[in-house]
């Protein structure tokens, strides 16, 4: 679909700035085979909350932010969650969820400790200091992340990351691709895509499941046709 003739052929007005799929290799984690991008690869752009099994007043005694710089809070019955080590992020109970307030004015909502299954502790949405709303969608069957979409409520413009996972075989659950899109005037404009392949363990080049290869395709410019 072509953009209107008066549409800018570049720029995203900052809506997509920082909306990227970022990963980090971690040599020693509790389960090195659990990475979405292969063994020991952690998606740092997908932060989530880890809840301790120990509870106080029915709430997890400790909550740890995984990714996004990390953070830890302890439950204090009189005041709720208190950040450790001088951290400036606040964590509050928001119904059945938890909401994290960042120093830059943004707020991120996570599925709370009473949520069962794979969504427990995962992001459910966010809002920036400027009112940009982030919506997180999950596949209703696998509960894997389907998309992360930013929306400017004033204009309706959107920027999104769309995820595709391997659905079967030895690499089931691994990320196959992440596509970054801009949406304006009803036009869906892909601007970047990260593609991933993984070792099968059938050759000497690598054991089963480590990341084999990745490529980045796209342009910083809008695709006008």
In a domain, 158, yes or no: yes
**Residue 23 reports pLDDT greater than 70:** yes
Which is more confidently placed, 70 or 183?
Answer: 183
pLDDT digits 0-9 by tens, 81-111: 999 988 889 999 999 999 999 999 999 999 9
**Residue 117 reports pLDDT greater than 70:** yes
The answer to whether 1 touches 188, Cβ cutoff 8 Å, is yes
Q: Which domain holds residue 165?
A: 23-218
The total number of structural domains that make up the chain: 1
In a domain, 15, yes or no: no
**Residue 216 reports pLDDT greater than 90:** no
In a domain, 16, yes or no: no
In a domain, 225, yes or no: no
- C-alpha closest to that of 70 among 52, 83, 80: 83
The answer to whether 74 touches 57, Cβ cutoff 8 Å, is no
In a domain, 9, yes or no: no
Question: Using CA atoms, how far apart are residues 15 and 62, in angstroms rounded to an integer?
Answer: 34
Across the strands, what pairs with 134? Answer: 126, 150
pTM of the model: 0.79
In a domain, 12, yes or no: no
Question: What pLDDT sits at residue 115?
Answer: 95
**Residue 45 reports pLDDT greater than 60:** yes
In a domain, 101, yes or no: yes
Q: 97: which residues sit within 8 A by CB, 6+ positions away?
A: 109, 110, 111, 112, 115, 124
Question: What pLDDT sits at residue 208?
Answer: 40
Q: How far is CA 224 from CA 14, 17, 108, 117, 181, in A?
A: 18, 19, 33, 42, 13
């Amino acid at each position: 679909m072509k953009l209107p003739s008066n549409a800018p052929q570049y720029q995203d007005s900052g809506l997509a700035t920082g909306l990227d799929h970022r990963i980090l290799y971690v040599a020693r984690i509790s389960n090195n085979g659990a990475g979405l991008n292969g063994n020991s690869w952690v998606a740092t752009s997908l932060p989530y909350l880890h809840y301790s099994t120990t509870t106080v007043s029915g709430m997890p005694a400790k909550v740890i932010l995984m990714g996004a710089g990390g953070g830890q809070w302890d439950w204090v019955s009189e005041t709720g969650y208190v950040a450790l080590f001088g951290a400036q992020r606040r964590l509050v109970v928001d119904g059945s969820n938890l909401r994290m307030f960042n120093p830059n004015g943004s707020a991120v909502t996570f599925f709370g400790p009473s949520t069962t299954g794979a969504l427990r502790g995962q992001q459910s949405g966010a809002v920036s200091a400027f009112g940009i709303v982030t919506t997180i969608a999950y596949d209703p069957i696998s509960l894997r992340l389907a998309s992360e979409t930013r929306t400017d409520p004033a204009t309706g413009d959107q920027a999104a990351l769309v995820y595709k996972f391997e659905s079967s075989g030895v690499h089931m659950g691994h990320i196959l691709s992440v596509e970054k899109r801009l949406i304006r005037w009803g036009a869906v404009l892909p601007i970047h895509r990260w593609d991933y392949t993984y070792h099968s363990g059938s050759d000497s080049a690598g054991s089963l499941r480590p990341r084999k290869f990745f490529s980045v395709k796209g342009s910083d410019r809008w695709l006008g046709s």
